[in-house]
Structure 1
Amino acid sequence: MQLLDKIIFLTGGSAGIGLECAKAYAHEGAKVVVVASNPGPVAEAAELLGPEHLGITCDVSKAADVEHAIKQTLEKYGRIDAIHNNAGIASPSKPLHETSDEEWQRLMDVNLKSVLYTTRYGFEALKGTKGSILNTSSLVGEIGQDNHAAYTATKGAMNTLTKSMALDYAQYHIRVNAVLPAGVWTPMLRKWSAEQVDPSSIEKYLDDIHPLGYCPEGDVIADACVFLLSEKARFITGTILPVSGGAELGYRSVR
């Protein structure tokens, strides 16, 4: 029970990596606040986790929504021990010059401005608990990716933001870290796969980019997140942790 009685505010917690994290956090004893934009999946996730947990419908790109969600959490539980900024979108899959203003702005608002809002409205609560912030980034924010410029820009920004936040908030004993998946089978990845020129080849491609030999499900990310939010990681901050099966290690011979 590494997270016993911790209150974890989890954005994007109703599907994919977020839902796997929600289940892992609950299994380790936390009370989880699942925050996402679609009310149906939010309600389903909350029901799956059980009555001690909370689901909140919230557009994380809107300040008023996030402020209200934080307020609801504090009204129910009285504190917040961790904020996990997991909400994100990955579309469109395009080079930069083909990306519209609207597509660019939507990516920036969901993937980055949401971190601004959860931090702005959750800071005092985290200060009170000497809590932690965890950001779900992506390996492509470190190494780049073809035909995905705007998305990789948001994740590169998230990585440097994580380090700056860690420095700013260390004085309050608030730890800030990020996890970097490579490929993980989620609804978002399946949507991205369908946008590619040859979707049928994507599964093999995603297996091959991981030296450990397969593209995982979200539970491998959740296990790392449990560790980073636990007391076992109490002296870790500003870390950008690849959970990638070695995908960042360099070129390999084709098998």
Structure 2
Amino acid sequence: MAVLTDKVIFLTGGASGIGKACAEAYAKAGARVLVMDKEEVLLNQLLGRLGNEHAGVAGDVQKETDVRSAIEQTISRFGKIDVIHNNAGTAHPSKPLDQTTENEWDSLFSINLKSVYWTTRYGIEALKVTKGCILNTSSMVGTIGQENHAAYVATKGGMSALTKAMALDYAPFGIRVNAICPAGVWTPMLRQWAAQQPDPEGIERYLDHIHTLGYCPEGDVIADVAVFLVSEAARFVTGCIMPVSGGAELGYKK
């Protein structure tokens, strides 16, 4: 059963990694998807696989004009927006707080958190019409912390807290707001980082081991839960910070 039939989803950062898996899962579930991503080559490759009933916009979620244009193009193309999925993000750089430059700090917050401000500012009226929903890609590190990623952890802690505030603000309009929280997920960014470490095989074993279920997953496990959260099956779920983490936060494995 296509649980997202007739739904229109605006997805940021959807050309690779978790976003790509979500775009593919949304399309498979019957939705029409517009993906905004700054990586135009990867975006075009994705659209080639998804088909002509979907669309893409090359743009930077840090830029107000790019986000506003992408939202406008979504409404122009599809006539409405049912879901905004704020997935665009970065974990770079890997540093403690005192070694993080001001530009690095500002960049992380601009991409990971301020982008949600822009999509909400320009998309909320469309969601009021459809009584739609917002899904934010957060991270378990926003709850449990992570060494050498202070600014990134701060953005994800902020994302989870912001999700709850938005859920309260927009509930009177029938709009649900939830966050999905992975732990480790094999994305191109994570694979590149792992390959650059002194012991790549040891890193892979470590990433498997931190998940209580025993393995570091691909993006499809996140996408499957995302489909649920934006579907009518989750119609009474809002303000939820949903772990999809293989139990990594339980702390029994080191």
Shorter chain as denominator, the TM-score bin is: over 0.9
Quick one: distance in 2 between partners of 1:85 and 1:232? 20
Q: Please report how far the alpha carbon of residue 135 of structure 1 lies from its aligned counterpart in structure 2 after TM superposition.
A: 0.4
Instruction: State the secondary structure of the residue aligned to 1:248.
Output: helix
Q: Please report how far the alpha carbon of residue 251 of structure 1 lies from its aligned counterpart in structure 2 after TM superposition.
A: 2.6
CA deviations over 1:119-146 (Å, ceiling 9, x no partner): 0000000000000000001100100000
1:110 aligns with 2:114: no
- Tell me which amino acid in the other structure corresponds to 1:201: G
2:220 counterpart residue number: 219
Cα 1:109–1:195 shift into 2, 3 Å = farther
Quick one: distance in 1 between partners of 2:195 and 2:113? 25
Gaps of 5+ in 1: none
TM-score calculated relative to the size of structure 2 = 0.97
Q: Over the residues paired in the alignment, what is the CA RMSD in angstroms?
A: 1.1
1:90/1:192 contact within 8 Å kept: no
Q: How many residues align?
A: 253
1:137/1:159 contact within 8 Å kept: yes
1:251 counterpart residue number: 252
- Which residues in structure 2 correspond to 1:61-210 (within 5 Å)? 61-194=62-195, 196=197, 198-210=199-211
Instruction: State the secondary structure of the residue aligned to 2:250.
Output: coil
- Tell me which amino acid in the other structure corresponds to 1:210: H
CA deviations over 1:12-39 (Å, ceiling 9, x no partner): 0000000000000000000010110011
- Tell me which amino acid in the other structure corresponds to 2:152: Y
Quick one: distance in 2 between partners of 1:168 and 1:190? 38
- Tell me which amino acid in the other structure corresponds to 1:114: S
Identity rate, percent: 64
Quick one: distance in 1 between partners of 2:202 and 2:157? 27
Cα 1:115–1:173 shift into 2, 3 Å = same
Quick one: distance in 2 between partners of 1:61 and 1:198? 34
1:56 counterpart residue number: 57
Instruction: State the secondary structure of the residue aligned to 2:248.
Output: coil
Gaps of 5+ in 2: none
Instruction: State the secondary structure of the residue aligned to 2:177.
Output: strand
Quick one: distance in 2 between partners of 1:49 and 1:43? 10
2:88/2:111 contact within 8 Å kept: yes
Instruction: State the secondary structure of the residue aligned to 1:55.
Output: strand
2:38/2:59 contact within 8 Å kept: yes
Quick one: distance in 2 between partners of 1:195 and 1:5? 43
TM-score calculated relative to the size of structure 1 = 0.97
Structure 1: 4+ residue segments shifted above 4 A: 194-198
Deviates more, 1:186-195 or 1:142-151: 186-195
